Amino acid sequence: MRYLVISDIHANRPALEAVLKDAPSWDAVWCLGDIVGYGPDPNDCVHRIQELEAITVAGNHDWAALGLLPLDDFNADARHAHLWTRRELNDFSREYLQQLPTSLEHGDFTLVHGSPREPIWEYLLDLVVARANFDHFRTPFCIVGHTHLPLIFVLNDTINRCYTIVPDPGVPVPLGQYRMILNPGSVGQPRDGDPRASYAILDTDAMTWEVRRVAYPVEITQERMRARNLPERLIKRLMVGR
């Protein structure tokens, strides 16, 4: 099976469409949450994900848009964007987001937004936190989003050492020898200094994970954000991918 793995679309429809056009053929779509929040097209993105029959878990921004998280936990710009998103969401989108689970197991893979220990909130940014999280899922592999950084944490349990791999776009990484936590990066708001949309292709026959990048018309998303009076800082950061 080949899976298209996407995360953190953040209501950025042009980025999502660019990924769907760029991706080589797939059998199923896995989505790691944060479909909405920040961007101008929350309903369109939810609709598209449902059309794709994606297996999806909930992210912190999806919960915030539903009013399930206190907005004090977000910075001022994110709060503004959430209040806008809450008003914008239609009943159909709200119902879809409400029924999303916080974690799923699919064969050898556990899917969560943040971390297996804290699926909604925890950021997997360093080796100490990553190492602790290997004890919180049963499968060989876990796929996460949330940090918007395409990154792999590897656990070599024979020497009890955890390390990271920054995958080169377009170069498949073999899976199987060690347990791993895999992050495909963000479709709609990359933060690794590369503004191109990030996603991954997981091939469970070849057992490979390939991160891919594709440029999308950032200016169209920016224009649509300006038309909705979304915060300028959120609009500008799309250009630099930070």
Smallest gap, in angstroms, from Cβ of residue 73 to Zn ion?
A: 13
Residue with smaller CB distance to Zn ion, 35 or 162: 35
> Most distant CA pair in the chain: distance in Å?
55
Q: In 187-242, where does DSSP find H-type helix?
A: 218-227, 232-240
Instruction: Rank residues 83 and 171 by Cβ distance to Zn ion and give the closer one.
Output: 83
| Residues binding Zn ion (CB under 5 A) | 8, 34
Rounded to the nearest whole angstrom, what is the least distance from the CB of residue 95 to Zn ion in the complex? 21
Contact 141, 175 (CB under 8 A): yes
Check the CA dihedral 86-91-92-96 and report its sign: positive
Give the C-alpha separation, 6 to 183, whole Å.
Answer: 9
Give the residue at shortest CB distance from Zn ion: 34
* Alpha carbons 238 and 107: distance in angstroms, whole number: 35
What DSSP line would sit under 155-195, residue for residue?
EETTTTEEEEE-PPTT-PEE-SSSEEEEE---SS---SS--
Nearer to Zn ion, 148 or 179 (CB): 148
Minimum gap (Å) between residue 108 Cβ and Zn ion: 25
Is the Cβ of residue 34 or residue 122 nearer to Zn ion in the bound state?
Answer: 34
Q: 141, 179 in Cβ contact below 8 A?
A: yes
What is the nearest approach in angstroms of Zn ion to the Cβ of residue 138?
Answer: 25
* Smallest distance from Zn ion to CB 147, Å: 8
Q: Which is nearer to Zn ion, 8 or 122 (CB)?
A: 8
